[in-house]
Structures are given as structure tokens and as C-alpha cells.
Amino acid sequence: MSPRKPNMESSIYEGSDGWWHGRVTMGVKDDGSPDRRHRRARTEAEIKRKVRELEDLRDKGRAPKAGRKPTVEQWMTTYLTDIASLKLKPRSLDDYWSKTRNDIVPGIGKHKLDKLQPEHLERMYRAMLDEGHAPSHVVKVHRILSRALKIAHRRRIIVENVATLVDPPTVDETEANPFTTEQAKAFLEAAAERPTFMRWCVGVGMGFRQGEALGLRWPYVDFEAELFHPQWQLQRLTWRHGCKDAHACGERLHRFEPCPPECRTHKNYKRGCPKPCPKDCKRHASACPERKGGGLVFTRPKTKKSTNPVPIPPPFIPYLLEHKAQQEAMRAAAGDEWEEHKALFTRPDGRPLDPRADWAEFKELLEEAGIEDRRLYDGSRHTAGTILNELGVDMPTIMEILRHTQISQTRRYVKGRSHLSKDAMRRMGDHFMPASERSTETKTETRDGKTARSQRRRRIR
């Protein structure tokens, strides 16, 4: 009988180096050569266990691909450059890159992908919380990493996605702080003196997001049907290099040493001095002569639901027409300096409103109206949902107006009012407990009661 083993059968032997060795045939490599994996252990029982585990992965079709495994840093770069960039919106991709550079790579970037353990992720999350990061920030990092590892597992680069074995921190939901009806009226009265009055009417009265409100364009306003068609949103995107060598392009701006303790160069930076550049820095795209894809850009909304038409309140129509006439006057005054973007809300030269200036104006209007500070989202989208609810509009209708995909999301936007709760409970009490007729007479048990007097009258008759 031939001593040759059958195809796909593993080999176990003790080597001259004192170690037990196991070799398992997993299939073939990309170039057609046999894919033989090697394992070693100090004892025969241990090597048999390792061989059985590898054979089990092979038989279930879960065996990782052959070759040296990338580090977490290398895989995140591959994932964001070649995979996520095909699906994510530009702003989302920028956020993924930012959290990868600032959190994932410094935390676990040097680990081999197949050697990554749940404990590594947990220690990284603990360190991020200790540094002062919000739990919501840590949860976002966890989701980005989990998605990247899921793709690696799907492509059999790793055996298991360890992120699924880790529980991220619990996030307390941010409580909405919308305007009351009186505050909303005071806010719009303060805005009535500004040329951006209609922008705030749309935000507070119709619940448009900031990007959607600033991205509204005249061709998508139907005056006859009284509808807004929010087909665009205005976003500020990060510039990208258009040159071939991004590192050489930003050579004069590279800074590899940290700033001194009392740096005056970045004294006006709200977040402090920027971190030093990595050795292969490819940033500084805003200074690239061939830069592309950045600045204020009209982009499509994130979801299909966001593009659903929204009815315009009829009282808004005359003000919209007046706003359009004022814009025509601005166009005539600007002459050749006018930049046509067909936007509803523009600067004097026709360019769309800057979201940063829009946010600053919101804070100014809060101060003028005597309203305590709050988020722009609270003063627009949350306010619209809450006031619609106070007016008796049902949740499915509010969901359609705000263009949410789930009604549970709408419920998070709507905040109850204490005076409405009191009124509701008063009506509930009146429904179950009708008002009783209260007598001013004192009712006491006496021998000469009503029954006794009635009996005496009958005897007299």
C-alpha cells in the first residue's frame, strides 16, 4: 500500500526541534498552488486540537485566507479608501476618517487583524472615556470599527468579528428642548427685522433641517400646489487633493513637532493646537492648486424619505413671494457680481448662506428674543414637531411632515408639555367622576331625621 496520504488529509509529526508540527491542506491559493497551513505545539494533544480547529474552519467554509494579515491601521485605510468610499456620503466618509485617525489608529492600530481581542477594544473605549470623550462619540467609533471588521470577516480575512463581543458604553438620549409657542413667536418677531426672515419661518414653522433649509431652490418650489420639494441640501465638504503626490503637495505646511506649551500660532483655535502631522501626511488639501470636491456644495439628501414634498402653510405664500421680489432687487443691485445658484436664501452676491453664519445668527436671535441658549435643532425641528402635537396633529401626520422613516423617531422629537398633561388629566377626571352637587347643610345622624318626619306626617293624616 502506498504511504501517501489521501487528498486533504492533515499531517502531524514531531520535529527534530522538539516541537510537534501539523500541516493542513486548506485548498489552493490565488495562483493555483496548494494552500498548506502550518501549526505547532509542545505536545501531541495540543497540536491535534489546533489541527482539528483548522480542519473544522475549512469544512465550514470559514477559514481565513492565506497570507500575512494586515494591521488594524492597514485594514482601516483599505476599508475607507476602497470600500466605504463607494457607498458613504462625503460628510459621513470624512467623519469615518476623522475617528479612524484620532481614535482607532492610536488605540489599536498596531494590532494584527487576526490577533485583535475584545479586551483591546474595551481598554481603548475606557481610555477614550477617561480622556473626556462623550459616550456617544465612543459608540460611533465602535460602530465604524464593527462595520470594518464585519467586511473583513465576510471576506474571510479574519475568523470572527470581535466587535460583536464587546458592549459599547450606554448613551443617555439627549432631551429635546424645543421652543414654547410664545418663545417661537418671540423668535420670529426678532427675525422679522432681518432679510433672512423666511429662512427662520421655514426652519421653525416647517421643521426643516439646516442643510435642507439652506439648500432649498426656486425650481423646486411649487406655488400652485403649495409644496416644497427638498431635493437638495447645502453642506460644507472637505477639500481633496487633485494632484498625484498629496504628501509633496503639502510639504511647506507639514509640521512634525508638537507646539510649545504657550503656542501663540494657534491661540484662537477653540480645540487647541492641532496634532503634529504623521510622517506620510497627505492632508492640507485646501492649499492644493488642483483641489476638488470641497467647500459649500449642493448635495442630495441622505435618504429617499427626506425628498418627499412638504406642504407650504398658506399664510407663508405671500411672504415667500415678497421674499422672491426682494431677491430680484438684490440681483439687480449686484449686477455682474451676482452668482446664480437659484437658492431661496442667499447672500447679497447670490452665493448660498454659510451654515456657520446661519448658526451664529440663530444664537443672536435667541439673545434678542430673550430665550435661553439651546441647539439649532431644538429651535427648529423639535419645535415644529412639538407644536404640531400641541395643535392636535396625530403622530403619523407629524412623521410625514418631518419625513421620518419610523414613527419611533418622531416620538423622540415631540416633547410633552406639563400644562397639556394637566388639562388632559382634568378631562380624564371629569369623564370618570361627574361633578357632584355639594350641599351646604350639615348631614348628621339624628333621631328626628327625614324618615321620622315623613312617618309622623302619615300618622297625622
* 8-state DSSP, 24: E
Cell numbers given for 355: 451654515
Residue found by looking up cell 502506498 in the block: 2
From CA 414, how far away is CA 411, in angstroms rounded? Answer: 5
Calculate the alpha carbon distances from 35 to 31, 49, 157, 188 in Å: 10, 20, 15, 71
Q: Answer whether 343's CB lies under 8 Å from 230's CB.
A: no
Write out the DSSP string of 358-399: HHHHHHHHHHHHT-----HHIIIIIHHHHHHHHTT--HHHHH
Q: What is the C-alpha separation between 155 and 171, in angstroms, rounded?
A: 31
Nearest of 386, 233, 387 to residue 297 by alpha carbon? 233
Q: Which cell is 431 given?
A: 369623564
**In the numeric block, which cell numbers belong to residue 437?**
352637587
With cut-offs at 50, 70 and 90, classify the pLDDT of residue 442. Answer: very low
pLDDT digits (tens, 9 = 90+) for 146-185: 999 999 999 888 888 999 999 999 887 777 889 999 999 9
> Quick one: pLDDT at residue 433?
67
Residue 186 has pLDDT above 90, yes or no: yes
Cα–Cα distance, 195 to 214 (Å, whole number): 14
Give the CA diameter of the chain.
Answer: 134
Cα of 431 vs its chain's centroid, Å: 44
- Count of CB atoms within 10 A of residue 202's CB? 25
d(CA 213, CA 380): 10
Distance, in Å, from the CA atom of 391 to the CA atom of 376, rounded to the nearest integer, reads: 22
pLDDT per position as a tens digit, 382-423? 999 999 988 888 888 989 999 998 888 888 777 665 555 666
- Indicate the average pLDDT of the chain: 86
Residue 296 above 70 pLDDT?
yes
Under the banding of pLDDT at 50, 70 and 90, the label for residue 443 is very low
Rounded Cα distance between 191 and 210, Å, is: 16
Q: What CA–CA distances, in Å, run from 26 to 152, 294, 349?
A: 19, 47, 67
Is residue 37 within 8 Å of 66, Cβ to Cβ?
yes
For the segment 253-271, what is each residue's pLDDT rounded down to a tens digit?
Answer: 898 888 888 888 888 887 7
Q: pLDDT band at 445, cuts 50/70/90?
A: very low
What would the mean pLDDT of 351-365 be, rounded to a whole number?
95
Which residues, 6 or more positions from 43, have their beta carbon under 8 angstroms from its beta carbon?
20
What lies within 8 Å, CB to CB, of 319 at 6+ separation is 197, 198, 201
Model-level pTM?
Answer: 0.72
- Neighbouring-strand partners of residue 219: none
Where helices occur in 161-314 by DSSP H, the ranges are 181-191, 197-206, 210-214, 246-249
> Residue 298 pairs with which residues in a beta bridge?
234
